[in-house]
């Protein structure tokens, strides 16, 4: 059956990208009831795009434009957070889908289900959703958001009414499952408090600890507390607080806490500083005793580098020092005090009690080996997962695990075993949430006066000072707050009618017959983006102890399975090349399995997001080798700009949704024809994406989808000589097309691209796409190559700075210009060289030199138009961006050249 003869689905023709992107971003700020808050799982898809992509994959494209626009308006309504519990909207969606499938519920598969967003939303709109997942932690999450709420709602609510009618009244009903989880959570809390409640002080919220290392000065006996910063509260409109330490070479430390009425804050050298009243003491609270692993002794000022820090931790181990006690303050605020002897005694009692607890309740499974993707704590003294928790933290978590074990027997006396298992599973997830907020990898968020959890992103770095939380405090990270998040999610996930199936299994060996599914919706692993198995072991070791006996098949291995995980992690292979080969081979197998189980007229939507063209090439090769061909692609802007990864790199905010069908033929395409087709198709889609607000690195990536639509429909693309054209070369063609398109937009057609030299084209494109962030050098080399820029020359002239495999564009203020007005030869300067030199002369106030330089080298229109384009595309965030932007605007304004006289082509130097 050819693709042309199949009925097109709505997702193959049109999608309201702007609205779906807006709702996806908005959803990430909605916390209560959002399934993402039930438990940490990384790179979860928003419910908005998951629900709408499932719906549009199952609905036929209407015959008329008016009908299509009506459907688009319905998709917009379905994309909102409110639609997750809107019975009328959900009922309409289910009825339309069943009408398309002759009254039956379609079968949907997600073979990489992860946290369950895609299959959950397919289930919400009435499909029979199948979630398959290799990772045991994710498998438990799938059960928790899909299986248990559905089964409880069917069993304990009015099953005689139609499921659609059941939806109408549910928001006014008490949710039995959520209520029972709350009830038994209270039982666990009371029982745990009987055993370990005396090890905490009632009004204490948390304990701020610092690791310690001995000073390396032989004349100093100081055990240096490793402190990242000294702020306790830096919030505006509140009583700010810091702590300071006074130390001597005999090893004595005095801790003092200062509040805002005891000091004043001022800014000097772009740093916030604090002057403590009635003293000469000036503190920079943001600068602790350790910076990037390098340690400075507060007693003698001796310091040592990060390498020595790692050596000491491995050879001697870290010590510990209790620095500050965080207590409940007035009006739900916080207060701070210096530790007392009683605080130390309570912790020592916890150490003694830990020695009496059963060994099997304490994790001792090994951490991943050194060099594992995303894991950094193993560079120090830590060898097993239990070492990431202090004695009282381990005791607390182990005690709650023991009480959850006991809960199952208690519930089973009143309910059937499956229901008891469901309730205990949520209690196990609550222990995981506590573990996320109560480890030696947490930290204190002084700008929010709250504990920051362990997994702020999908990695485990070292944290020098950390917060131990009180599980009975009623504050962030305790047992009660963990349960509150979970019960709200149970209620949200109860608004479903489709019967789900959750399985633990391997995507490369699907346990389903051929031609079984009407649609496949999936979000496969992204190359080397996320070490799911390694990081999820953090939670696996506790789940195994809290609910492992209830799932002997799921928790049968010491840690999560790694051998079959589709990821490019060189620590698991002999070489980086072997790791890449493994990833591509396994992903190809998975895509072939999708092809096998998908019906001939079925549709497959695959999500992918990565900046690396290498990752894209591997994914595309796997896709094409499987016999799946893209019929449409959509970049959805799903990420918040303030997420940790987005703050430290130009991380993509968009994910590309590939809509695929089974390839119908074996047509051969010829490169010259395909290039023309590429240019036409990509330009058309880029116009659409640009109008929908896609910009920067996201626009560069968004072009890949339409390109795959073109060359993916051919079994092979060849030159006239018969030589096969590889995917990498076709991606290079695409990158060249989108680069020209983006530069044309940035320059607004005022200058022909041929009038700008290659180095300047590259600089402008990099600034527009990545601002001032560092990027992988190999990716930057490819971008320079398609713009005919020479990276060697860019490095020689210091425009491109390369460090440890990463590359960054140098703004003018970071260049080493001794005398910017002096150049060896007039024609040897690129346009960007001229712009940067002129900007430096303006910044230094050397007006006569600037006037002479402009007269000799900067009379062309392109100079001013390009300078203005660079200034306008730089973001407001980031000190480097701000300074370069200010310098360029200053140059433009001082010269009065924001409106260049195109007719005369002349430049007045009067203002210089």
pLDDT digits (tens, 9 = 90+) for 516-560: 999 999 999 887 778 899 999 999 999 999 999 999 999 999 999
Q: What are phi and psi of 211, to 5 degrees?
A: -70, 155
Nearest C-alpha neighbor of 832 from the set 875, 787, 878, 877: 787
Higher pLDDT, 53 or 282: 53
Residue linked to tokens 């799911």: 532
Q: Give the pLDDT confidence of 263-307 residue by residue, as tens digits.
A: 888 888 878 899 988 888 888 999 999 999 999 999 999 999 999
Domain residue limits, the chain: 1-136+516-524+593-662, 201-340, 665-747, 748-907
Nearest C-alpha neighbor of 531 from the set 645, 646, 374: 374
The residues with which 96 forms a beta bridge, in sequence order, are none
| Per-residue pLDDT, 844 | 87
Which of the 8 DSSP states describes residue 147?
I
With vertex at residue 434, the alpha carbon angle to CA 378 and CA 337, rounded to the nearest 5 degrees, is 90
| Per-residue pLDDT, 159 | 41
Judged against a pLDDT cut of 80, whether residue 162 lies above it is answered with no
Q: Half-sphere exposure of residue 794, counting CA atoms within 13 Å on the CB side? A: 29
| Per-residue pLDDT, 644 | 39
Say how many C-beta atoms besides its own lie within 10 A of residue 167's C-beta: 22
Nearest C-alpha neighbor of 522 from the set 576, 579, 587: 587
| Per-residue pLDDT, 610 | 78
- Indicate the pLDDT class of residue 312, thresholds 50, 70 and 90: very high
Residue linked to tokens 């008329």: 64
Nearest C-alpha neighbor of 681 from the set 756, 748, 630: 630
CB 16 within 8 A of CB 70: no
Judged against a pLDDT cut of 50, whether residue 768 lies above it is answered with yes
Give the whole-angstrom CA distance, residue 790 versus residue 797. 11
Judged against a pLDDT cut of 70, whether residue 643 lies above it is answered with no
- Kindly give, in sequence order, each residue whose CB lies less than 8 Å from that of residue 194, ignoring residues fewer than 6 positions away: none
* The dihedral sign for the CA sequence 462, 466, 468, 473: negative
| Per-residue pLDDT, 46 | 93
pLDDT mean over 841-848: 87
| Per-residue pLDDT, 814 | 85
Say how many C-beta atoms besides its own lie within 10 A of residue 32's C-beta: 11
Residue linked to tokens 């002997």: 552
pLDDT mean over 330-354: 94
Give the whole-angstrom CA distance, residue 450 versus residue 571. 35
CA distances from 884 to 21, 166, 845, 868 (A): 31, 60, 15, 12
CA distances from 836 to 391, 751, 800 (A): 57, 19, 13
Say how many C-beta atoms besides its own lie within 10 A of residue 511's C-beta: 10
Judged against a pLDDT cut of 80, whether residue 907 lies above it is answered with no
The residues with which 669 forms a beta bridge, in sequence order, are 717
CA distances from 740 to 133, 684, 767 (A): 41, 14, 15
| Per-residue pLDDT, 898 | 36
| Per-residue pLDDT, 534 | 94
Give the whole-angstrom CA distance, residue 472 versus residue 205. 9
What's the token pair of residue 132? 């398959």
Give the whole-angstrom CA distance, residue 629 versus residue 713. 6
- Indicate the pLDDT class of residue 878, thresholds 50, 70 and 90: low
Q: What are phi and psi of 210, to 5 degrees?
A: -125, 135
- Indicate the pLDDT class of residue 445, thresholds 50, 70 and 90: very high
Say how many C-beta atoms besides its own lie within 10 A of residue 64's C-beta: 8
Please name the helix (run of DSSP H) or strand (run of DSSP E) that holds residue 779, with its range, or none. Answer: helix 777-786
CA distances from 215 to 227, 249, 284, 297, 586 (A): 14, 9, 22, 6, 50
Give the whole-angstrom CA distance, residue 479 versus residue 686. 49
What's the token pair of residue 441? 């990898």
* The dihedral sign for the CA sequence 531, 732, 871, 824: positive
Give the whole-angstrom CA distance, residue 25 versus residue 642. 11
Q: What are phi and psi of 33, to 5 degrees?
A: 90, -10
Q: Taking the model in full, what pTM does it have?
A: 0.88
Percent of the chain with pLDDT over 90: 58
Number of residues that make up the chain? 912
Which of the 8 DSSP states describes residue 725?
P
598-608 and 517-522 as β-strands: parallel, antiparallel, unpaired? parallel
Which of the 8 DSSP states describes residue 273?
E
What's the token pair of residue 768? 């527009």
CB 517 within 8 A of CB 602: yes
Residue linked to tokens 């080397």: 528
Give the whole-angstrom CA distance, residue 115 versus residue 122. 14
What's the token pair of residue 208? 């701020």
Out of 95-104, 285-294, 777-786, pick the least confident. 777-786
| Sheet order of strands, 107-110 included | 501-504, 128-133, 107-110, 517-522, 598-608, 654-662, 628-637
Residue linked to tokens 């001082």: 894
Give the whole-angstrom CA distance, residue 265 versus residue 237. 13
Q: What are phi and psi of 600, to 5 degrees?
A: -60, -35
Q: How many helices (H) and strands (E) does the chain have?
A: 29, 28
- Indicate the pLDDT class of residue 169, thresholds 50, 70 and 90: very low
- Indicate the pLDDT class of residue 753, thresholds 50, 70 and 90: low
Mean pLDDT of the chain: 88
Higher pLDDT, 623 or 2: 623
Higher pLDDT, 614 or 827: 614
Taking the alpha carbons at both ends of the chain, their separation in whole angstroms is: 71
Give the whole-angstrom CA distance, residue 705 versus residue 280. 62
| Per-residue pLDDT, 857 | 80
Determine whether 329 is exposed, middle or buried from the number of CB atoms within 10 Å of its CB (0-12, 13-18, 19+). middle
Q: Half-sphere exposure of residue 493, counting CA atoms within 13 Å on the CB side? A: 33
- Indicate the pLDDT class of residue 653, thresholds 50, 70 and 90: low
| Sheet order of strands, 290-291 included | 290-291, 294-296, 303-304
Judged against a pLDDT cut of 80, whether residue 639 lies above it is answered with no
Give the whole-angstrom CA distance, residue 601 versus residue 603. 7
User: Is the domain defined by 1-136+516-524+593-662 classed in CATH 3.40.630?
Assistant: no
Percent of the chain with pLDDT over 70: 92
pLDDT mean over 213-227: 96
CB 187 within 8 A of CB 411: no
CB 655 within 8 A of CB 634: no
Give the whole-angstrom CA distance, residue 225 versus residue 193. 32
C-alpha torsion 572→573→575→579, nearest 10: -90
Judged against a pLDDT cut of 90, whether residue 83 lies above it is answered with yes
CB 355 within 8 A of CB 440: no
| Per-residue pLDDT, 895 | 63
Give the whole-angstrom CA distance, residue 248 versus residue 300. 7
Which stretches of 278-437 are DSSP H helices?
A: 306-315, 341-354, 391-412, 417-437
CB 629 within 8 A of CB 596: no
């Amino acid at each position: 059956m050819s693709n042309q003869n199949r009925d097109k689905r709505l997702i193959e023709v049109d999608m309201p990208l702007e609205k779906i992107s807006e709702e996806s971003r908005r959803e990430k700020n909605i916390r209560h009831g959002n399934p993402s808050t039930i438990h940490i799982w990384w790179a979860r898809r928003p419910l908005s795009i998951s629900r709408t992509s499932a719906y549009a994959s199952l609905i036929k494209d209407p015959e008329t434009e008016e009908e299509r626009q009506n459907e688009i308006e319905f998709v917009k309504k379905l994309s909102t957070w409110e639609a997750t519990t809107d019975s009328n909207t959900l009922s309409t969606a289910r009825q339309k889908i069943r009408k398309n499938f002759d009254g039956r519920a379609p079968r949907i598969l997600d073979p990489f289900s992860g946290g369950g967003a895609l299959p959950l939303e397919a289930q919400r709109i009435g499909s029979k959703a199948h979630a398959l997942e290799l990772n045991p932690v994710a498998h438990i999450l799938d059960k928790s958001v899909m299986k248990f709420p559905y089964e409880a709602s069917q069993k304990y609510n009015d099953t005689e009414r139609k499921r659609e009618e059941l939806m109408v009244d549910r928001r006014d009903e008490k949710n039995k499952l959520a209520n029972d989880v709350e009830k038994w959570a209270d039982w666990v809390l009371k029982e745990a408090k009987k055993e370990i409640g005396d090890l905490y002080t009632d009004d204490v919220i948390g304990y701020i600890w610092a690791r310690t290392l001995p000073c390396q000065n032989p004349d100093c006996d100081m055990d240096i507390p490793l402190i990242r910063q000294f702020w306790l509260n830096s919030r505006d409109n509140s009583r700010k607080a810091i702590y300071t330490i006074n130390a001597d070479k005999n090893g004595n430390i005095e801790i003092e806490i200062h509040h805002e009425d005891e000091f004043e804050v001022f800014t000097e050298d772009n740093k916030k500083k604090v002057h403590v009243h009635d003293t000469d003491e000036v503190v920079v609270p943001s600068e602790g005793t350790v910076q990037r692993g390098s340690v400075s002794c507060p007693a003698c000022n001796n310091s040592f580098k990060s390498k020595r820090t790692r050596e000491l931790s491995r050879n001697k181990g870290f010590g510990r020092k209790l620095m500050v006690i965080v207590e409940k303050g007035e009006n739900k605020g916080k207060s701070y005090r210096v530790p007392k002897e009683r605080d130390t005694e309570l912790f020592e009692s916890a150490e003694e009690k830990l020695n009496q607890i059963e060994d099997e309740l304490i994790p001792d499974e090994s951490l991943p080996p050194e060099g594992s993707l995303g894991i950094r704590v193993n560079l120090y003294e830590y060898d097993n997962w239990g070492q990431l928790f202090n004695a009282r933290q381990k005791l607390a978590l182990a005690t709650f695990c023991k009480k959850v074990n006991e809960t199952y027997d208690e519930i089973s006396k009143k309910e059937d075993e499956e229901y008891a298992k469901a309730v205990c599973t949520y209690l196990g997830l609550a222990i995981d949430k506590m573990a996320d907020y109560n480890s030696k990898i947490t930290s204190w968020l002084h700008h929010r006066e709250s504990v920051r959890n362990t997994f702020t992103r999908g990695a485990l770095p070292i944290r020098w000072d950390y917060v131990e939380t009180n599980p009975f405090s009623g504050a962030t990270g305790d047992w009660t707050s963990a349960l509150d998040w979970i019960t709200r999610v149970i209620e949200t996930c109860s608004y479903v009618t489709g019967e789900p199936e959750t399985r633990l299994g391997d995507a490369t060996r699907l346990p389903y017959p051929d031609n079984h599914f009407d649609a496949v919706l999936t979000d496969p692993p992204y190359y080397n983006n996320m070490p799911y198995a390694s990081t999820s072991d953090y939670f696996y070791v506790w789940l195994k102890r809290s609910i492992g006996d209830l799932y002997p098949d799921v928790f049968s291995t010491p840690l999560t399975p790694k051998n079959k995980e589709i990821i490019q992690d060189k620590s698991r292979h002999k070489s980086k090349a072997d790791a890449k080969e493994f990833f591509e081979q396994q992903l190809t197998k998975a895509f072939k399995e999708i092809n096998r189980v998908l019906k001939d007229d079925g549709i497959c939507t695959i999500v992918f997001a990565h900046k690396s063209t290498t990752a894209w090439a591997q994914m595309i090769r796997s896709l094409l080798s499987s016999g799946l061909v893209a019929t449409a692609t959509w970049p959805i802007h799903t990420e918040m700009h303030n997420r940790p990864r987005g703050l430290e790199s130009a991380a993509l905010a968009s994910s590309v949704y590939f809509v695929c069908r089974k390839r119908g033929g074996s047509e051969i395409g010829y490169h010259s024809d395909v290039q023309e087709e590429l240019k036409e198709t990509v330009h058309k889609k880029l116009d659409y994406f640009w109008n929908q607000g896609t910009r920067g690195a996201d626009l560069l990536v968004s072009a890949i989808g339409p390109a795959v639509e073109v060359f993916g429909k051919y079994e092979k693309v060849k030159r006239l000589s018969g030589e096969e054209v590889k995917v990498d070369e076709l991606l290079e063609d695409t990158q060249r097309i989108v680069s020209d398109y983006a530069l044309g937009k940035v320059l607004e057609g005022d200058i022909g691209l041929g009038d700008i030299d290659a180095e300047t084209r590259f600089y402008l494109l990099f600034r527009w796409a990545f601002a001032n962030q560092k990027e992988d050098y190999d990716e930057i080399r490819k971008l320079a190559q398609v713009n005919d820029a020479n990276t060697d020359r860019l490095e020689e002239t210091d425009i491109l700075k390369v460090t440890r495999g990463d590359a960054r564009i140098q703004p003018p203020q970071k260049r080493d210009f001794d005398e910017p007005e002096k150049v060896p030869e007039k024609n040897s300067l690129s346009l960007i060289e001229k712009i940067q030199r002129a900007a430096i002369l303006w910044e230094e106030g050397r007006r006569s030199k600037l006037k002479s330089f402009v007269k000799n080298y900067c009379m062309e229109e392109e100079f001013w138009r390009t300078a203005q384009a660079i200034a306008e595309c730089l973001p407001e965030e980031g000190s480097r961006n701000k300074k370069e932007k200010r310098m360029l605007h200053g140059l433009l304004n001082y010269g009065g050249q924001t409106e260049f006289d195109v007719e005369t082509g002349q430049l007045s130097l009067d203002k210089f």
